Structure 1
Amino acid sequence: MTTPALAGSSSPHVDPAIFSSLQTKIDQEQAIRDELRTHVEALSKQGRLTQSILSRIHNTPTDELEASVLAPCYDALLEQTKTVKELAQSASQYPFYKWNSIWQRDIQAVISSLQLCDWLKDGNLLTLEEVGQRLDVPVNLKSEDAFHITVEDYLLALTSTIEELARLAPNAVTLGDYARPLQISKFVKDVHAGFQLLNLKNDILRRRADGVKYSVKKVEDVVYDLSLRGLIPKTPATE
C-alpha cells in the first residue's frame, strides 16, 4: 500500500527545475517582445505624424496638395522607411508568424500612406512588389522565415486607402474640385472589381474587402449629386 504524500510536501514527481526552465523561456520571450516593441513604438509615433500630414488632404485645394501635403508626407514616410528597415533586421532573427501581430497594424498604416500618397500624385496604385522596393524589405516570402510584407498586409492597407478616398470625394466637392470625385469613383470601382476576383480565406480581410462596396456606394452618391446639379466637368475624367 502506497503512503500518500503529506499535505504541504512537494511531490517527488515534479522537478522544480522544470519551472525554472520555463521562467527562463518566459524571460527570453519578453526580451524579444520588448526589443520588437521598441521599433514598433517608434514606427507608430512616426505614423501619427504621417497621418496628421495626410489628414490635410480634406481641406487643401488640389492644386496645393503637392507642396502642402505630398512633399512633407514623403519626407515623413522616408523616416518610417528607415524604422521599418530596422524592425526588419531585428524581427528576421525570430520566427515571423510568432511575432508579426506586434507590427501588423503599423506596417499596414505605412503601406496605406504610401498607396494614398502615390495615388494622389499620379493616380496609380502601387503593387505589392513596389511597396517592398520602397520600404526596402522582402514581400510574400515562402521559403524563408524572415520579416516580409504579406499579401494580407497589402490588401488590408488597400481597404483603408479606399475608405480614405471615399471620405475625400465629398470634401473635394466642398473645395470646388468636381473632377476629383470622378477620378476616385473610377479607382474605387476598379479596386472593388479586383477584390471580387479574389478567393479570400482570411476572415478579417474578407470582411474588410466586402466593406469596399460601401465606399463605392458613397462615392457614387457624390458623383450622382454632381450630375444632378450639372457640375460634372467635361474632361477626359468623365469619358
Structure 2
Amino acid sequence: MIDHRIFEDLQTKIDEESTVRDEVHDIVQTLARKGRSTQAILSRAHSTPTDQVKPILDDALTEILAQKEEVARLKAVADQHPFYKYNGLWTRELQNLVVSIELCAWLGGLQEHKGPSSASFMTIEDVGKFLEIPVNLKEKDAFHLTIEEYLLALISMVEELSRLAVNSVTLGDYGRPVQIGNFIKDLFAGFQLLNLKNDILRKRSDGIKYSVKKVEDVVYDLSLRNLIPKGSAAA
C-alpha cells in the first residue's frame, strides 16, 4: 500500500509554492501599477518641447523611485527562493522599469546615476547600481537583472525613441530626430556584434533596423526641405 503521507507532504509543498507566488504576485501588481503611471508621465514628452521637459522628468523620477522601493520588496522575497522558478512572474515589469529608467536618462534625467562611459544611456551596471540590485549573477542563485532583460529593455527604448523622432517634427524640433537617429544607429551597430541565442531576443533585435529606417526617413525628409539645423548632423 502507498503511504498517503507522501501526498500530504506534496500538498504541503504545493501550498507553500502557492503562498510564495501569491506574495510575489501582489508585489508585481503594485510594481506594474506604478509602472503604468511612470509610462503615462513619460509619454507626455512626445507632446512637450525639449526645453520644457524637465518637470516631466522630475515627475517620472518620483514614480521610478517608488518602483525602486517595490523592487527592494521583491528582492527580499525572491532571494529566499530559486530565481528561475519564479522570475517569469516579474521579468516583464522589471523590463518595463528599465525602459522607463533608460528613457528618463536619455531625455536628460538621472544625470548623477550615469556612469562616465554612458553619456546617452545607462549601462546594465548603471541600472543595477541605481536600483541597488545585482546584475547577471552567476555565482549564486538570487534576484538580479539579467542581460536578456536589459537588452530587451533597450530594444523597447529604441522603438519609443523612433516615435519621439516623428513627434518632435510635429513640435517643430528638427534637431532631435538627427540626434535620435545617430544614437539608435550606434545602438544597432552594437547589437550586430552580439551572437544572440535567445529566440525572442534575436527576433526583437531584428526589429531595430525598422526603427532605424523610420528615423532615417524622417531625417531624409527634413534634409530635403533644408529644415535640419546646421551642426545637428555632426552632433
Does 1:177 pair with 2:189?
Answer: no
Deviations 1:24-57 (A, max 9, x none): 1110110010111111111001101000101101
Amino acid of the structure 1 residue aligned with 2:83: F
CA distance in structure 1 between the aligned counterparts of 2:163 and 2:8, rounded to whole angstroms: 54
Structure 1 residues 29-48: aligned runs within 5 Å: 29-48=17-36
Paired amino acid for 1:157: A
Query: Hey, what does 1:157 align to over in structure 2?
Result: 153
Unaligned runs of 5+ in 2: 112-118
Q: In the alignment, is residue 66 of structure 1 matched against residue 65 of structure 2?
A: no
**Does 1:57 pair with 2:37?**
no
Structure 2 distance, partners of 1:94, 1:114, is 27
Is 1:197 the counterpart of 2:193? The answer is yes
- Could you tell me which amino acid in structure 2 is paired with residue 152 of structure 1? E
Task: After the TM superposition, list the runs of 4 or more consecutive aligned residues in structure 1 that deviate by more than 4 angstroms.
Answer: none
- Supply the distance in 2 between the matched residues of 1:28 and 1:78 (Cα, whole angstroms): 31
How far 1:19 sits from its partner (Å)? 2.1
Worse overlay, 174-183 or 37-46: 37-46
Q: Does residue 114 of structure 2 align to residue 120 of structure 1?
A: no
The number of equivalent residue pairs is 225
Counterparts in 2 of 1:74-223, with a 5 A limit? 74-121=61-108, 124-223=120-219
Distance in 1 separating the partners of 2:225 and 2:194: 37
Determine helix, strand or coil for the equivalent of 2:141.
coil
CA–CA separation in structure 2 for the residues paired with 1:20 and 1:219: 60
TM-score, length of structure 1 as denominator length: 0.92
1:70-113 superposed Cα distances (whole Å, 9 cap, x missing partner): 11001110111111111111100000011100000000001010
Where 1:200 maps in the other structure, the secondary structure is coil
Shift in Å at residue 194 of structure 1?
A: 0.3
Give distance in 1, aligned partners of 2:12 and 2:71: 29
Paired letter, 2:68: T
TM-score by length of 2: 0.93
Give the C-alpha shift of residue 20 in structure 1: 1.6
The aligned counterpart of 2:233 is 238
Q: Give CA deviations for 1:171-228 in whole Å, capped at 9, x if unaligned.
A: 0000000000000000000010000000111110111111111100110010011011
How far apart, CA to CA, are the structure 2 residues paired with 1:90 and 1:28? 13
Tell me the equivalent position of 1:4.
none
| SS of aligned partner of 1:142 | coil
Which amino acid in the other structure matches residue 238 of structure 1? Answer: A
Q: Could you say what secondary structure the match of 1:105 adopts?
A: helix
Separation (CA, whole Å) in 2 of partners of 1:101 and 1:22 = 23
Structure 1 stretches lacking a partner, 5+ long: 1-11
